[in-house]
Amino acid sequence: MFNYLGQTNLKTGEIMSVARIDGPSLGWRPRLLSFLEHKGAPWATQIEMALTSPLDDLGSHFYLGLLPGHDGAPVCHILVSDYHGVGLLGHVYTQPEHRQKGAIKALMDLVMKDCKVRGVEVVSLGTGFDSPPFHIYKGFGFEPIVPGDGSMIREYEPLSALLARAPVTVRPLRWRDWPAVTLLSILPVAPGEVGPRSVVMEVASRGSAEGPFIDFQLLRERNPNVDGVVLVTKNDIAVGWATIAPVTVDGGVTQWTLDAYVAPSFVDHYDALLAALRLPDAPIVAHIGGDGPRGVALRRVGVKCLALCESPA
CATH of the domain at 95: 3.40.630.30
Domain region containing 32: 2-120
User: What tens digit of pLDDT does each residue of 209-254 get?
Assistant: 999 999 999 999 999 999 999 999 999 999 999 999 999 877 788 8
**Domain-located, residue 150:** no
Q: Which helix H or strand E contains 29, and what residues bound it?
A: helix 29-35
Q: How confident is the model at residue 196 (pLDDT cuts 50, 70, 90)?
A: confident
**Domain-located, residue 130:** no
**Domain-located, residue 18:** yes
**Domain-located, residue 136:** no
Show Cβ contacts of residue 118 under 8 Å, excluding neighbours closer than 6 positions.
82
**Cβ–Cβ < 8 Å for 152, 143:** yes
Does 78 share its domain with 180? no
Is 152 a residue whose pLDDT tops 50?
yes
Query: Structural domain tally of the chain?
Result: 2
Dist. CA 230–CA 188, nearest whole Å: 20
pTM metric for this prediction: 0.94
**Domain-located, residue 87:** yes
**Domain-located, residue 126:** no
Does 115 share its domain with 172? no
Does 101 share its domain with 179? no
Does 174 share its domain with 115? no
Does 69 share its domain with 197? no
Dist. CA 162–CA 159, nearest whole Å: 5
Does 109 share its domain with 189? no
